[in-house]
Amino acid sequence: MNVERFYETLDSAIGLDRKLELQLGLDSIRDALSNITAAPAQPVHQSALANAIAAFSDASAQLGNALTPTQADSIAEIGGAEFFDPRIADTVRQSIAENAMTPSVARDFVKDLASRRSIFLETMQSTLTGLNELGVKSAFLEPGSADLAFLIPRNLFDDKLGEFAKELIFITRLIETFSEALSGEHQPTVLEGLSSSVPTVAIGASVGLIMCLANLVNKFLEAWERVERIRKMRAEMSEMGIEGAPIEVLTKQIAATVRGVVDESVRTALANYEGKPTRKNELETALRQGTRRLFGQIERGLKIQFRAEPKKGGAESERKALEEVARMGREMKFPRAAEAPLLLENGEVLDGELPEIERGSAKVIKRVAKNAEKTDS
C-alpha cells in the first residue's frame, strides 16, 4: 500500500477501536478475571466478568459489520489481523470456558492478549501522529468522485519486470476497452498513483466506467462462491473414487457459471454502443478476452479496490451510482489465491475464446495461450 492508504488504514483502525471501545472491553475482562483469581468466592466478580464478556462480544459483533473486507486486508497487512478479528470475543470466551476451574490460566491468556493489543494500538497511534507531523494525509476522495486501484500480488509476475509489464498492459487494455464500449470513444488510461509492497496501480476513470467494472467484479465474486461449492463437491466425489460423467457435469458447470457472468457483462457494456458494427464486434471480442483474463487473475490473487464519495445536492443518477459503487466496494470479498487455479495458469496470457471442456480431461478449461499482441485489434 502507498503512504496515503497506510495513513487511512491506521486512522480507520484507531477510529473503530475508539468507537467500539474494544480495548476497554478487553481490559475490563482482564481486570474481572484478576479479581476472580484473587477472590473466587465473590459473586460480584462473577457478575462483573459476565457483563464485561457480554459488552465485548457485542463490540466484536459490531466490528464484523463495520470492518470492510478491504479494511480487514489492509489491517492484516500491517500485522493487526489478530487484534481486529471479529471472532476475538469467541477466542476469549473459549479460553475462559476451557479454564473455568483454573481462572488464573484464562487471566494470563487475556492479560497477554490485552497487553499485545495495547502495544499495537500505541504503535499505530504514534505512527499516525508522526505521519501527521510530516504532512502526510489520507487519500480521501473529493465529494462526487470515485476511483479504483488494482492490487497485483507478486505471484502473478514472479518478481519479473517483463511479466509485471504484461500485467500493466492488460490493465490498460481492459480499462480502455470498457471505456470505449461505454463512451464510444477511445480514451487513454490515466495513472493516478503507483505504490510498491503489494504493487498497487490507481487508475483515473469516469464514474460510469467505475460503476460498470464494480458491477462486473461484484457479479463474478457472487458467482465464484457458487463455483467454490461446485469445486468442493467435485473434490469430494473424486476422493470417493467417483469418476466419469458426474465429474464432467460439475466441471462443465464451473465453466458455464463463469461464462454466464462474462456474457452478461459484455452485453451490459455494449448495450448503448452506437459505433460501427465492425468496431462493435471487435470490442465484443476484446471485452470477452479481457473479462475472462480478469476473472482468472482474481482467482490467482488480484484484488480491485473501488471507492466512491457521493455528493450532496448533485444529480440524482450520479449520486445513486456513487452510493452503489461505495456499497459494493465495502462489501466485496475477494477469494484467497487458489493453489490450483481453474481459469488461468501461471504466466499464461488468456487470449481468445475458451473452448468447451474436453471430455475426459482433468483440466477445467482448455487454455488457449496465444500471442498477446493479437489483442490490439
Whether the CA torsion 82, 84, 86, 88 is positive or negative: it is positive
231 pLDDT above the threshold of 80: no
13 pLDDT above the threshold of 60: yes
User: pLDDT digit string (tens) for 217-228?
Assistant: 999 998 888 877
Res 223: pLDDT: 86
In one-letter notation, the amino acid at residue 272 is: N
Compute the C-alpha angle 52/55/59, nearest 5°.
Answer: 135
User: pLDDT digit string (tens) for 321-363?
Assistant: 888 998 888 888 888 877 766 665 444 444 433 333 332 333 3
Question: Which residues, 6+ apart, have CB-to-CB distance to 236 below 8 Å?
Answer: none
- pTM to 2 decimals? 0.68
Element (H, E) at 193: strand 190-195
Q: Within its chain, how far is the Cα of 219 from the centroid?
A: 14
Q: What number of other Cβ atoms are within 10 A of residue 27's Cβ?
A: 19
User: pLDDT digit string (tens) for 69-80?
Assistant: 778 888 888 899
Q: Is 313 exposed, middle or buried (0-12, 13-18, 19+ CB in 10 A)?
A: exposed
* C-alpha–C-alpha distance, residues 331 and 70, integer Å: 8
15 pLDDT above the threshold of 60: yes
102 pLDDT above the threshold of 80: yes
- Tell me which of 1-15, 55-69, 294-308 is least confident: 1-15
Res 22: pLDDT: 92
Q: What average pLDDT does this structure show over 165-185? A: 91
Task: Name the H helices within 154-276.
Answer: 161-183, 207-239, 245-269
Q: Is 245 exposed, middle or buried (0-12, 13-18, 19+ CB in 10 A)?
A: exposed
Compute the C-alpha angle 159/364/240, nearest 5°.
Answer: 115
Q: Is 261 exposed, middle or buried (0-12, 13-18, 19+ CB in 10 A)?
A: buried
- Tell me which of 180-184, 185-189, 197-201 is least confident: 197-201
37 pLDDT above the threshold of 50: yes
Res 64: pLDDT: 84
Half-sphere exposure of 314 (CA within 13 A, CB side): 15
User: pLDDT digit string (tens) for 266-298?
Assistant: 999 999 898 889 999 999 999 998 998 898 889
Q: What number of other Cβ atoms are within 10 A of residue 73's Cβ?
A: 18
| 339 within 8 A of 172, measured Cβ to Cβ | no
How far CA 59 is from CA of 26, 41, 55, 85, 259, in Å, comes to 10, 29, 6, 11, 41
Confidence category of residue 315, pLDDT binned at 50, 70, 90: confident
Cell numbers for 17, please give them.
477501536
- The closest alpha carbon to 341, from 371, 368, 364, belongs to 364
Res 20: pLDDT: 92
Higher pLDDT, 247 or 144: 144
82 pLDDT above the threshold of 60: yes
365 pLDDT above the threshold of 60: no
User: pLDDT digit string (tens) for 123-173?
Assistant: 999 999 998 888 877 766 778 888 888 989 888 888 888 888 989 999 999
